[in-house]
Every structure is written in C-alpha cells, then in structure tokens.
Amino acid sequence: MLTVSVKATYWNLKAVDAAFRVGFEDAGKMFKSALVKGLTSGSRSGRTYLFRGRRYTASAAGEMPASRTGKLAGSVGYKTSRMRVEFGETAFYGKYLEDGTPNMAARPHVRIIGEQKAAEGLKRVGDRVYGAIK
C-alpha cells in the first residue's frame, strides 16, 4: 500500500485555489478561441445561393454552422468558477443550430469543440495546479 501525505498550510490552499481559478480561465479562453475559429474558418458544403449579391455557401447537416454575419461567433463566451468552466454562445438561435429543429438537422458545434478540446482544457488546469503544489 502506498500512502501519500501532503502537509497543507493556509498558504498552500490559497495558492492551489488561485491555480484552479487561473487554470479554468486559461481553459475558458482556449475553448472560446477554438469555437470562434471553427465558426469563422473552413469551408462548408451545404447549399450555395446568392445573398445580397454575394455567393454564400450554407453549412450541411453535421458541419459547423456557416458564418454570414459573424453574430454567432461574436456571441461566444465563457464563465468560470473555482472548479468549472462553461462556454458557448449567447445568440438565441445557437441552441437551434446545436440541437436542430423539426425542419433543420443539427449542426453540433459547441459539443464538438467540447469533446475535441476537453483533454487540452484539463491539462491546462492540471499544469497550473501542479505548478502551485510543486
């Protein structure tokens, strides 16, 4: 049996608490950046049509939503607490794109970024906490 004991002092606890906050803040910035990049870059393979005199290609089912005005990407944000980070967008139609509607298939973008970047986010938090207890 292996026993590990750590002598926790008030100073250590404050440092660890601060490390968690900074780590989750780092993770939130990374999630936000990845989501905005996914929404604003890359090509889409949906229907192509003219919109206000310009050629526009919509997103197909399962792809990241195509950006026409940038409003969805501009509404991306995150919130942190000591042990949690939440990210997503505040545009009202984001949930319809994420989950789909009876007339439109889902374009899951927040969920995909969360799955792709979860390990990197945890590593960022872990690195900060490790640095505080080292």
10-residue block means of pLDDT along the chain (134 residues)? 46 81 93 95 91 91 92 94 86 94 94 92 90 82
| pTM reported for the whole predicted model | 0.85
- The burial class, CB within 10 Å (0-12 / 13-18 / 19+), for 106 is middle
Q: Is-contact 2 29, C-beta < 8 A?
A: no
Q: What is the pLDDT of residue 75?
A: 96
Q: What kind and span of H or E run contains 75?
A: none
**Cα dihedral 66/69/72/78 (nearest 10):** 120
pLDDT of residue 82: 67
